[in-house]
Amino acid sequence: MNVSQLTVANPFASLDVARLRQRTSAKWTVYPDDVLPLWVAEMDAVIAQQIAAAVQEALENGDTGYPFGPAYANALASFASDRWGWTFDPAATSMVADVMSGVKEVSRAIGAIGANDAAIIVTPPVYPPFFMVANKLGRPIVEAPLDAEGRLDEAALEAAFTEATAGGRSAIMLLCNPHNPTGTVHTRAELEMLASLARKHGVRVVSDEIHSPLIMPTATFTPYLNVAGSEHDFAVVSASKGWNLAGFKAALVVAGSDAADELKSFGLYGAGHIAVIAHTAAFNHARDWLDGAIAGIDANRQLLGDLLETHLPEVRYQLPEATYLAWLDCRDLGLGDDPAAAFLENSRVALSAGTGFGAEGNGFARLNLATSPEILTEAVERMANVRN
């Protein structure tokens, strides 16, 4: 679906900074009021009315107990079929508190089946909690860096899988699909290559697909479990990023067709009932809002390119194919490993430090595009003062 051709409301078109500063979540409160925050992955948009209505109805009915039933899984299955052509059995799912707790608990469970020191394979630069999962589980980390274009590197994966499974050890690959921070949408061919290598080496794959609803009009998303060879693996999906629902804790672990019975033994839990109601409403009833958000992000990703060309031509930037995150190569500015620190200190703009995404993130910063064009423009104009 080409959302740019739809008549949808852009939830970022008109935002009031004074009202945004009334929020009490992290994005607008961590830094002082003279800082423009374009860092953590929260949207500046107001929640979809369909979601607000579903939550309000639950509160008015006193429907505030424990989650139960297949509504969330059925909603995701409907959305996945309509948007991605992916069909799966809703019964082959488990609800969890959020995507990363799902990734961690699945990794704990399948790692315990093999060697206790089952390695965790990651593809840096990658979402910092991937490293945290390995550290919390006490697992060694093996890296398979992305290539120069920010794509999966077959040779790097082969080498990492060989290292991680040496001596008959078990290993788990944490896949970010779409990729955070680069915004890369892995192609079907790339995912098939990954699945084939994983089967060759006996590596299990856990795919974080939290950004999967946020695909730009120029890209096509392929769910990892929709490719051949992924039958023994898992994906974790949520409405959290697509509809700005991080404060409503819920996600779904989906098992590959040959892993459904295994999933049942994991004993996963943690989702909140009101959160499940919100996420179910998002997938079922707030698709037009999502399309408007994608159209707004699409416009902002292109606006950012124009702004950087005008104000910071030294910064290299590839339009993300998904997510609302922009990965900025600031190495030519000469700001050291952490340019985000310089932008904060000298320009009063908060970005995410690239250093947290692995050594490959040194000299980079991540910028949040899910805001108004006016805020984005002011931020880049401020950032141009970093050299003063």
Is pLDDT at 264 greater than 70 in this prediction? yes
User: Are the beta carbons of 276 and 250 closer than 8 angstroms?
Assistant: yes
Q: pLDDT by residue (tens digit) across 141-160? A: 999 999 999 999 999 999 99
Tell me, letter by letter, the H, E, C secondary structure of 27-83: HHHCCCCCCEECCCCCCCCCCCHHHHHHHHHHHHCCCCCCCCCCHHHHHHHHHHHHH
pLDDT, average across residues 299-318: 98
Q: pLDDT by residue (tens digit) across 1-54? A: 344 444 579 999 989 999 999 999 999 999 999 999 999 999 999 999 999 999
User: Are the beta carbons of 145 and 157 closer than 8 angstroms?
Assistant: no
pLDDT, average across residues 107-113: 84
> In which region does residue 165 sit, left (phi positive, over 0), alpha (psi from -120 to 50) or beta (all else)?
alpha
d(CA 246, CA 243): 9
Q: Edge to edge, what strands does the sheet with 93-96 contain?
A: 93-96, 251-255, 234-237, 203-208, 171-176, 119-122, 141-143
Lowest-pLDDT choice from 4-13, 177-186, 232-241, 317-326:
4-13
User: Are the beta carbons of 67 and 261 closer than 8 angstroms?
Assistant: no
User: Are the beta carbons of 383 and 52 closer than 8 angstroms?
Assistant: no
Q: Are strands 352-353 and 349-350 parallel, antiparallel or unpaired?
A: unpaired
User: Are the beta carbons of 73 and 90 closer than 8 angstroms?
Assistant: yes
The three-class DSSP label of residue 381 is helix
d(CA 195, CA 193): 6
pLDDT, average across residues 301-305: 98
Q: pLDDT by residue (tens digit) across 51-73? A: 999 999 999 999 999 999 999 99
Which DSSP string do the residues of 197-226 spell out, in sequence order? HHHHHTEEEEEE-TTTT-B-TT-----GGG
Please name the amino acid found at residue 354.
G
pLDDT on residue 4: 40
The three-class DSSP label of residue 343 is helix
pLDDT, average across residues 220-231: 98
What are φ and ψ of residue 204, in 5° steps? -90, 145
d(CA 104, CA 112): 12
Q: Give the Cα-Cα-Cα angle 229, 235, 240 (nearest 5 degrees).
A: 155
Mean pLDDT of the chain: 96
d(CA 110, CA 103): 11
Percentage of residues in the chain with pLDDT exceeding 70?
97
Sorted by where each starts, the structural domains of the chain and their CATH numbers stand as 3-47+287-387 (3.90.1150.10), 52-285 (3.40.640.10)
Task: At 371, list the tokens.
Answer: 């805001």
d(CA 9, CA 13): 8
User: Are the beta carbons of 328 and 340 closer than 8 angstroms?
Assistant: no
Task: At 383, list the tokens.
Answer: 């950032």
Task: At 168, list the tokens.
Answer: 């008959």
- The CA-atom distances, in angstroms, between 45 and each of 9, 53, 118, 217 are 11, 16, 41, 20
- The CA-atom distances, in angstroms, between 82 and each of 229, 278, 296, 350 are 23, 20, 22, 37
pLDDT on residue 117: 74
Q: pLDDT by residue (tens digit) across 75-101? A: 999 999 999 999 999 999 999 999 999
pLDDT on residue 3: 40
User: Are the beta carbons of 214 and 240 closer than 8 angstroms?
Assistant: no
Is pLDDT at 352 greater than 60 in this prediction? yes
pLDDT on residue 112: 72
pLDDT on residue 387: 79
